[in-house]
A = this chain, B = another copy of it.
Amino acid sequence: MKQINLFEANDFADKGLKKFLVHDSPYFKIINFNFKPGQELPVHSHDIEGQLSLVIVEGTGEFLGKDGTSFPGRPGDVVISDIAEPHGFRATSHVRLLVTIAPPI
C-alpha cells in the first residue's frame, strides 16, 4: 500500500493551478490540482473511452461544462464525467481537487 496526504504533498502557486501526480498505473491515474481563488482548469475533453471523477477535498468553485455551462461545487462533491465530455473547474476559494481517470490517459 502507498499513502499520500494531499495537504502535505501539494501547495498553491500564484502563477496558476498546482498539479501533483498522486498515482499512475495501468488501472487509473490520480491527480491533485490545487487552485487559488480565480484559478481555472479550462474546459477540455479527449475523444477516448473512459470516465473521470472530480472530488472537492477542500474549497468552493464551479464545475465547467460544454457551451459555457457551469454549476456550483463545494466540499464533498463528487462529479463524474466521460473523458470525451467537456469538463473543467474554476475556483472561488482555495481549492484542493482530486481527479481520478480510468483508464489512465
- Give residues in A with beta carbon < 8 Å to B: 1-8, 22-23, 25, 27-28, 30, 49-51, 53, 55, 57-58, 63, 65, 71, 73-81, 85, 87, 96, 98, 100, 102-103
Once the chains bind, are A5 and B102 in contact (CB under 8 Å)?
no
Residues of B within 8 A of A58 (CB): 76
Mostly helix, strand, loop or mixed at chain A's interface? strand
Asked if B28 and A74 sit within 8 Å, CB to CB, the answer is no
Not counting A5-B74, A25-B51, A55-B98, a sample of 7 additional A-B residue pairs whose C-beta atoms are within 8 angstroms of each other reads A1-B65, A1-B85, A2-B79, A4-B79, A25-B80, A30-B53, A53-B100
A10 to chain B: closest residue by CB: B76
